[in-house]
């Protein structure tokens, strides 16, 4: 295979020798580089072969692309058929689910209605029971309240009787004290009148006779007035019921 070399080995060796490299080592490196270049360079014949190979590759690629396109179209048709089948199956499944859901909803409605009726019955029974208990409790409270009111009425009546007795006793004491004051004032007034009358009476003895000494007239001391009646202490019953 003919090649066109554009690599000057002699100049390359000379440069290496000038740089201090041994001449033999420089020659070996030049030969190695030359062999590498010859292996890597392509000739015109190689280029023609390459173009032919590329044309074959392109033709094969076109054929493969056409086959792939045909296969894709066929696969797409199959996929569309599968999609249609899946869609039909989905519609059927949805209808079945709708039927099942509707049936389930009806069952739940029936159960809920039955449960609500049971709860209504229980609630009604509970309300009646509470009504009975409340009525019994109210009656009990009414009885207790009535008994308490009667007890308070008895206490009030007792307090009224005691108050009347205290009032009567106070009246008697007041009458006695008033009568004592009246008697004492009457005696005082009468004594004062007698004293005034004796002082104003003319002397009947004759002139020239010794007169008896005039005795000093003293008014009688007033009697000690009775003390005022004691204050009435009447117990007033409490109207507040005792705490339970």
Q: What is the pLDDT of residues 66-103, one digit of tens each?
A: 888 888 888 988 898 889 999 999 999 999 999 999 99
pLDDT higher for 234 or 186?
186
pLDDT exceeds cutoff 50 at 216:
no
Q: What is the maximal distance between C-alpha atoms in the chain? A: 221
Cβ-based neighbours of 163, under 8 Å, separated by 6 or more:
232, 234
Task: Give the pair of three-digit tokens for residue 66.
Answer: 């056409």
Q: Say if CB 192 and CB 218 are below 8 A apart.
A: no
215: region left, alpha or beta (phi > 0 left; psi from -120 to 50 alpha): beta
Q: Say if CB 51 and CB 29 are below 8 A apart.
A: no
SS3 228: coil
The count of other CB atoms within 10 Å of the CB of residue 212 is 8
Task: Give the pair of three-digit tokens for residue 226.
Answer: 């009775």
- Burial (Cβ within 10 Å: 0-12, 13-18, ≥19) of residue 244: exposed
Mean pLDDT of 7-24: 80
Q: Say if CB 30 and CB 71 are below 8 A apart.
A: no
Q: What is the pLDDT of residues 217-226, one digit of tens each?
A: 444 444 454 4
pLDDT of residue 105: 93
The C-alpha atoms of residue 180 and residue 192 are separated, in whole angstroms, by 18
Q: The pTM is what?
A: 0.30
Q: What is the pLDDT of residues 103-148, one digit of tens each?
A: 999 999 999 999 999 999 999 999 999 989 898 999 999 999 989 9
Residue 31: pLDDT band (50, 70, 90) is confident
DSSP letter at 203?
P
pLDDT of residue 60: 85
How distant is the alpha carbon of residue 44 from its chain centre?
Answer: 96
Q: What is the pLDDT of residues 165-215, one digit of tens each?
A: 888 888 888 888 888 888 888 888 988 888 888 887 755 444 444 444 444
Look at 15-24, 35-44, 126-135, 224-233 and tell me which has the smallest mean pLDDT: 224-233
């Amino acid at each position: 295979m003919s090649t066109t070399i554009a690599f000057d080995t002699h100049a390359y060796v000379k440069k290496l020798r000038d740089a201090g490299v041994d001449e033999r080592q420089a020659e070996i490196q030049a030969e190695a580089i030359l062999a590498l270049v010859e292996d890597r360079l392509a000739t015109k014949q190689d280029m023609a072969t390459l173009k032919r190979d590329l044309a074959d590759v392109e033709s094969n690629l076109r054929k493969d692309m056409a086959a792939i396109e045909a296969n894709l179209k066929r696969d797409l048709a199959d996929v569309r058929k599968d999609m249609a089948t899946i869609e039909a199956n989905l519609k059927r499944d949805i209808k079945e689910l709708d039927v099942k859901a509707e049936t389930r909803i009806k069952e739940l409605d029936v159960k809920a209605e039955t449960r609500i009726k049971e709860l209504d019955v229980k609630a009604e029974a509970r309300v009646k029971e509470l009504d009975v208990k409340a009525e019994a409790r109210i009656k009990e409270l009414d009885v207790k309240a009535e008994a308490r009111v009667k007890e308070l009425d008895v206490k009030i009546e007792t307090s009224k009787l005691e108050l009347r007795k205290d009032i009567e006793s106070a009246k008697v004491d007041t009458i006695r004290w008033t009568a004592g004051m009246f008697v004492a004032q009457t005696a005082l007034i009468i004594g004062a009148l007698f004293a005034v009358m004796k002082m104003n009476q003319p002397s009947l003895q004759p002139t020239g006779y010794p007169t008896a000494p005039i005795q000093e007239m003293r008014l009688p001391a007033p009697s000690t007035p009775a003390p005022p009646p004691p204050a009435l202490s009447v117990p007033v019953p409490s109207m507040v019921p005792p705490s339970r």
